[in-house]
Amino acid sequence: MRALKFSGILSNDHLENPDFYDWNIVVVRYCDGASFAGDAEGEDLDGTKLFFRGLRIWEAVIDELMGKGMDIAQQALLTGCSAGSLAALLHCDNFRGRFPQEVAVKCLSDAGFFIDVKDLSGERSMRSLINGVVHLQNVREVLPKDCLQNKDPTECFFASELIKSISTPTFILNSDYDSWQIRNVLAPSGSYPQQAWSSCKADIRNCSSTQIDVLHGFKNKLVSEMKVAEDNKNWGLFIDSCFTHCQTPFHITWHSPISPRLGDKTIAETVGDWYFGRRQDVKQIDCEYPCNPTCSSRLPTA
């Protein structure tokens, strides 16, 4: 098997990853299409059998890790980016429950705060996508029971609902101009005439003032849905205004000379302050684009 070189929060270099460089790290490959939440089987139109086993994979992986020594850990952090970030939210309390109460267990969600917003054509394309996943893969088992009492499972799969039921301290890291969501949720192909948004969604610097106003509206919607996290004293926030997606896995965004900064701190420094309790009320929400000079055009986009 080819060796992988890890960077960002996974790096073993203390200069790149000052707080977590010497931790034991496990990377679980994303493989199920539903954030390790599905448990169903069915049949395709051509008769092909389909098996969705994300939840069983999650349980098997954690069981194996506990048997290999994770059960005696004194500190643990469950994290992921994008769909993996949603998995961290879905399984956060379950992960916490695997350890004794005296163990410091927390969760970190990076770029998983997908929102249910209308696209440029007025359709809810993200809701349609999530609805298909939720019902195809039968993810009800991992959804908050209190949410399911009052709302459709599709709605309960969004981060804005998940965070209402998570009791484990959690850190939300997200761009409020998330490049993946702008390209696939707000302005997916077919939601605008001809090439009207193609240049803008490829690079936010190409957006017109009218388009920037639309993006500001997206930002405001995303931030408003984080109110529960903002009000929870044990939670942390780093919501920057950079045009990027997934910031923990990369050296350039996590902790480097050109990393995004809020309150004069990198993401790595802010997450470390929160996890280890070096500061109280670690919550930073950026101003509107293009106010933050640390948002480099070299940051990764999806």
Q: How far is CA 201 from the centre of its chain?
A: 20
Residue by residue, DSSP assigns 186-198 as: IS-TTSSSTTTTH
Q: How far is CA 60 from the centre of its chain?
A: 22
| Closest by Cα among 62, 61, 38, 60 to 51 | 38
The continuous run of DSSP H or E covering 43 comes out as strand 40-43
**Left, alpha or beta for 8 (phi > 0: left; psi -120 to 50: alpha)?**
left
Angstrom distance (rounded) from CA 9 to CA 32: 23
Q: Which residues are catalytic?
A: 82, 178, 245
| Closest by Cα among 43, 31, 29 to 136 | 43
- Count CB-CB contacts under 10 A for residue 190: 11
Angstrom distance (rounded) from CA 30 to CA 112: 14
